[in-house]
Structure 1
Amino acid sequence: MKLSISRRLALMFAATGFLVFTLLGVVLHGILDRELLRSQRAELKARVDLYTPLIQKNGDPARWHLVQSKLDAAIPGDGRARYWIVGDDPRFRYGETTQGFGAAQGDGYGELELNGSGKPFRTLSRSIGATGERPAVRLVAALDQTPYRETLRVFTIALAGVSLAAMLLVALLGHWIARFGLRPLERLSDEARALSPSKLAQRLHQSTLPPELSELATAFNGALDRLESAYQQLEGFNADVAHELRTPLTNLIGQTQVALSRERGAGDLEEVLQSNLEELERLRAIINDMLFLARADQGLRASNRVEVSLAQEIGRTVDYLEVLLEDAGVQVRVEGDARALVEKSLFGRAVTNLLINAVQHSERGAEIVAEIAPRGDGILVAVHNHGTPIPDEQLPRLFDRFYRLDSARSGSSSNHGLGLAIVRAIATMHGGQVVATSERGVNRFGFTVAA
């Protein structure tokens, strides 16, 4: 089951709170344990320091009862504190040492659990030198640890309860904070759901959004801009396709209807068929070009690249167009040369389209220049011709499909408005881009390929 962002944040808040309170509890537990131990040791030291001088001064067996009476009076009724005096002379001893007392051997702090009592004691032992008839003895003071351990246990339970309650509170507050913090996102989602395909100009409002969501809205609005542009381009493309296909289809239908309106001779029918064939070839050319552009839009790349001399490839294309050039009365001059990895068939098709475009817009007797020159990290291949200046605002659109400077659109079978669009597709397939300039009466169209 997928959790909402607010629940995820609440769980993360709870996990963070649990970790923080656990670490805090461990630290506080350690501090309290250390302080309780320090308090026990301080009390034991105070008790031993209190009775050490008394034992040191009494070395006479006749006066030893004074020491015993003092220690008897120092033992509380609940048995929380105990004393022992251990030595070689039985006359100078105090307390019963037969019940598990071996654990208290040696000077310093220790722990002791007397048999039968079930209570743990913390002890402090100190050796006292001989005096008079008393040999060296050892004073042992002990404190019952049960109250301290109970205090530590109660603190641990309370701390665990408080930590659990705090964790739950943090989770609830975290969920509320997350819901409150995500309200702008909910409003943004509602606004996005309200977008209508019939109103492509609608955009998300960014003025009231926090910076993080404002960046998201900016990106989303950018996507809407691109979508609107693509939709408008698609509408224009559909209209252009309909226009381009309608013209030859109308010609085919009209000519066929005229031919069938009355009896025709073989020569008339042959003439009609020849005309229909030209229109059909035009349709095929349009369809083939559209299929090629569709494959290019899907990410098709030039795969069969070989290293060639670009000047030689352009020369072969010029030879292929020799008849067209002679009929138009123009000449082609190639300037420069470079070697690059290209797919020869695609490169030749792009150059052919550029040369045909230049021929169609050149006067008889003009010279067309095919330029090859380095450009950045690639190589530029451009075709120059003298012609009517092109407005700067129209230059970027010349490589769009079916775009023509003449709004009336020529119905010539030699131009259906896809030539330069194919050039751009081929440039993209070679990792390059297209170039179009119009300066001082010279129009230049070209593309780049990777060096």
Structure 2
Amino acid sequence: MSSNSIAIRLSGMFALVALLVFLLIGWALYLQVDKSLGLLPEAEVDARYSVLESAVQRYGNPEHWAKINAKLRLLSEEDKRLRFWVVSDNPTYEFGNPDAQIRTFANGPLGMRDLNLSDHDYPFKVLVSQFPAKDQRPPLRFLTAIDTETFWETQHSLLIALISLAAVGIALASALGYWVARIGLKPLHALSLEARKLAPPRLSGRLQLSPLPPELDQFVTSFNSTLERVEQAYSRLESFNADVAHELRSPLTNLIGQTQVALTRGRSAEHYFEVLQSNLEELERLRSIINDMLFLASADQGSKATELTQSSLAEEVATTLDYLDFILEDAHVQVQVRGDAHVPFEKAHLRRALINLLHNAVQHTSGGKIIHVDIKVEGDHVSIAVSNPGTQISDEHLPKLFERFYRVDASRSNSGANHGLGLAIVKAIALMHGGSVFARSEHGENTFGINLPC
């Protein structure tokens, strides 16, 4: 299994969390036990000393001191951890054969202290006390000691136990975390298997596993929405490819057919001139289609209008009308411009969009009619609407009119005059300026236009 597996990463996170928890709990427990174990030797030394204190203070002659020595010897034999030393100027009242190290230690401060002996790995916890002279007994230094080896070993055993338990707990947390993660990720695995079945041309399928956890249910909804958009894009691409093939095939067929006819037998120079002139028209049409497709491809890559100029839209429309003067005259159509606004735009691109909008209006306007160009400021944008009288367009076609090669007339009866990219280019130019396009058909008038940001 890959090291990037979610189940493995989750089990690793479970192990890390378990490690932190065990460290905190174990450390707190260890400190508490260490504190308790540290008090035990002192408590036991105090308990032993309290038993002997009254006897040592009460008696001060050699006969009674012999009984105290016997009791000290008995206590030492019963519990090998215990040791007693009595240091005095009179050897008769000493116990435990104190050497120079013990004598030096006994003459130190009174109270609970640690004593390290050369023959022991662990220190003794020693209570140093002093008894004043009584009767025949001189002053004494009384040492009650206990070996702390057992306490240190208990502490060490506890540490080993805590480390072992922590290791086992972390291993269990990792294993259980991996198991839980695998169970929790089963729906995701099932979704993956379902998603593998979705591929062109079978794009109509959707992920329909249920019930699902809320997180995955949200993912499935988003994924299905994406699939729907991909299906629509795939359908448009198929339609686009068919339209491109049709648009390119027609002029190529004309070129090949006219050239083949011209080559079947000898022709006059005038006839060859006519054939070449006709071929040139078809080649110009091919070039126009290719240039428009290249422009749209560049727009699809996210190209933006950069050479912006703050100018009058009405003046730009007037300049465009001068360019279209002969077309308007041949169609016997007039254009009226209403309104004005100053916005930033790239002149070359906007003029191309206006030419396409006006040319589209002229093609669908009867002679003697008037085309209106309305420029209006509407909030944070300016609209340029080109309206022409004509047959009403159904609502099902309006949202698609700015798509490439889309025509209301499915028979392509007008494909020779227009290859179906004009309005698509208008939309691309609007988007390059950060704007949008719109189309409406009402009251016997068809309107196409663009919105530009102020």
Amino acid at match of 1:75: S
CA RMSD of aligned residues (A): 2.7
Structure 1 distance, partners of 2:326, 2:138, is 136
- Give 1:56 shift: 3.1
- Give 1:350 shift: 0.6
**Aligned pairs for 1:174-213 within 5 A:** 174-213=177-216
- Give 1:281 shift: 1.5
Structure 2 distance, partners of 1:2, 1:49, is 69
What is the aligned-residue identity percentage? 49
- Give 1:89 shift: 6.4
Structure 2 residue 108 is the aligned partner of structure 1 residue 108: no
- Give 1:438 shift: 2.1
- Describe the SS at the equivalent of 1:393: coil
- Give 1:167 shift: 2.5
Preserved CA contact (<8 Å) 1:381 1:446: yes
TM-score, normalized by length of structure 2?
0.89
Amino acid at match of 2:357: L
**Aligned pairs for 1:253-402 within 5 A:** 253-402=256-405
Amino acid at match of 2:73: D
The alpha-carbon distance between structure 1 residues 96 and 407, as it changes in their structure 2 partners (threshold 3 A), is same
**Aligned pairs for 1:4-23 within 5 A:** 4-23=5-24
The alpha-carbon distance between structure 1 residues 274 and 37, as it changes in their structure 2 partners (threshold 3 A), is same
Structure 1 distance, partners of 2:308, 2:148, is 88
Preserved CA contact (<8 Å) 1:54 1:67: yes
Q: Which residue of structure 1 aligns with residue 26 of structure 2? A: 25
Structure 2 residue 36 is the aligned partner of structure 1 residue 35: yes
- Give 1:416 shift: 1.4
Which moves more between the two structures, 437-446 or 424-433? 437-446
Amino acid at match of 2:361: A
The alpha-carbon distance between structure 1 residues 215 and 206, as it changes in their structure 2 partners (threshold 3 A), is farther
Structure 1 distance, partners of 2:77, 2:47, is 16
Preserved CA contact (<8 Å) 1:99 1:114: no
Preserved CA contact (<8 Å) 1:100 1:113: no
- Describe the SS at the equivalent of 1:248: helix
Preserved CA contact (<8 Å) 2:259 2:275: yes
Structure 2 distance, partners of 1:207, 1:56, is 88
- Give 1:353 shift: 0.7
The alpha-carbon distance between structure 1 residues 341 and 76, as it changes in their structure 2 partners (threshold 3 A), is farther
- Describe the SS at the equivalent of 2:204: coil
Amino acid at match of 1:233: R
Structure 2 residue 69 is the aligned partner of structure 1 residue 68: yes
- Describe the SS at the equivalent of 1:244: helix
- Describe the SS at the equivalent of 2:77: coil
- Describe the SS at the equivalent of 2:396: helix
Which moves more between the two structures, 14-23 or 199-208? 14-23
Amino acid at match of 2:99: T
Structure 2 distance, partners of 1:371, 1:216, is 45
Structure 2 residue 129 is the aligned partner of structure 1 residue 122: no
Preserved CA contact (<8 Å) 2:191 2:209: no
The alpha-carbon distance between structure 1 residues 79 and 331, as it changes in their structure 2 partners (threshold 3 A), is same
The correspondence for 1:407, drawn from 399, 406, 410, is 410
Q: CA deviation digits over 1:384-417, x for unaligned, max 9?
A: 2232222222111000111111122234543111
- Give 1:429 shift: 1.2
Which moves more between the two structures, 89-98 or 308-317? 89-98
Structure 1 distance, partners of 2:399, 2:84, is 104
- Describe the SS at the equivalent of 2:304: coil
Structure 2 distance, partners of 1:271, 1:186, is 68
- Give 1:66 shift: 4.2
The alpha-carbon distance between structure 1 residues 286 and 76, as it changes in their structure 2 partners (threshold 3 A), is same
Which moves more between the two structures, 177-186 or 345-354? 177-186
The alpha-carbon distance between structure 1 residues 82 and 383, as it changes in their structure 2 partners (threshold 3 A), is same
- Give 1:131 shift: 5.5
The alpha-carbon distance between structure 1 residues 306 and 233, as it changes in their structure 2 partners (threshold 3 A), is same
Preserved CA contact (<8 Å) 1:309 1:340: yes
Q: Which residue of structure 1 aligns with residue 53 of structure 2? A: 52
- Give 1:206 shift: 3.1
Structure 1 distance, partners of 2:127, 2:337, is 108
Structure 2 residue 172 is the aligned partner of structure 1 residue 169: yes
Structure 1 distance, partners of 2:2, 2:100, is 65
- Give 1:103 shift: 4.9
Structure 2 distance, partners of 1:123, 1:373, is 102
Preserved CA contact (<8 Å) 2:128 2:142: yes
Structure 2 distance, partners of 1:252, 1:373, is 46
TM-score, normalized by length of structure 1?
0.90
The correspondence for 2:152, drawn from 149, 171, 188, is 149
Preserved CA contact (<8 Å) 2:251 2:282: yes
Which moves more between the two structures, 381-390 or 418-427? 381-390
Structure 2 distance, partners of 1:317, 1:132, is 135
Amino acid at match of 2:10: L
- Describe the SS at the equivalent of 1:75: helix
Q: Which residue of structure 1 aligns with residue 83 of structure 2? A: 82
Structure 1 distance, partners of 2:357, 2:164, is 82
Structure 2 distance, partners of 1:67, 1:336, is 124
Preserved CA contact (<8 Å) 1:52 1:128: no
Preserved CA contact (<8 Å) 1:386 1:443: yes
- Describe the SS at the equivalent of 1:437: strand
Runs of 5+ unmatched residues, structure 1 = none
